[in-house]
Amino acid sequence: MNLRAVQSIYLYEMHRTWRTLWQSVVSPVISTSLYFVVFGAAIGSRITEIDGISYGAFIVPGLIMLSLLTQSISNASFAIYFPKFVGTIYEVMSAPVSYFEIVLAYVGAAATKSIILGLIILATAHLFVPLHIEHPVWMLVFMVLTAFTFSLFGFIIGIWAGSFEQLQIVPLLIITPLTFLGGSFYSISMLPPLWQKISLVNPVVYLVSGFRWSFFEHSDVGVGISLAMTLAFLAVCLAIVSWMFRTGYRLKT
């Protein structure tokens, strides 16, 4: 493995984060803090507890997952789309670097940035509500798996997108609504039976549920099912990325 090449791409992407610190870190943290204020004041005054968990604490995993998903996709999609846009991707692909090393560097940097942001938001949440994480190791496992999975998904979007507008279509029209409807701010057990069944079609439900279990040992679906669904989506993303590089889909033209 060409570790020097992987390190070079990885560090370049990480340095870009510090050059755009306000957009990459400060802005998402401020947005998440506003969610705490708005939902805590407006809804928390009416829903004090869910299954014995204060509403303010209950929404913390959902807010972290919301930021993790959106930032993972955004970081990875832009990271690969911009080299395509300016044409430098051809220099990378002609260098003695394998496709695996290219993906590892770009996706690794995007996932790292998302995980750092998630941990910052977790620290920020302590300023608003008291928190105790029952399973910190599993919390990190779900965070890392989700960050890498959706960074791969963002990488796919970045290769597929033919314009900056297309780059935003999937996150804005699909991922964000699915996250809001995936139990980020409520338990799906609060829904009517029919809507509970419909919610189980939403893959974000399994991500949020498993992540919330690591905090409170409370979940809408079994933690094993949540972990299996996350790994399945990761495998699908890996297969698609592999196919894109083997065929040169939107990379060689």
pLDDT tens readout for residues 188-240: 988 899 988 999 899 999 999 999 999 999 889 999 999 999 999 999 999 99
State yes or no: pLDDT of 44 exceeds 70: no
Residue 47, phi-psi category: left (phi > 0), alpha (psi -120 to 50), beta (remainder): beta
Measured N-to-C along each axis, helices 203-216 and 60-86 cross at an angle, to the nearest 10 degrees, of: 130
Q: Is the alpha carbon torsion for 23, 238, 139, 183 positive or negative?
A: positive
Predicted model pTM: 0.90
Number of neighbours of residue 75 by Cβ within 10 angstroms? 28
pLDDT digits (tens, 9 = 90+) for 92-144: 888 888 889 999 999 999 999 999 989 988 988 888 888 889 999 999 999 99
- The closest alpha carbon to 116, from 204, 180, 24, belongs to 24
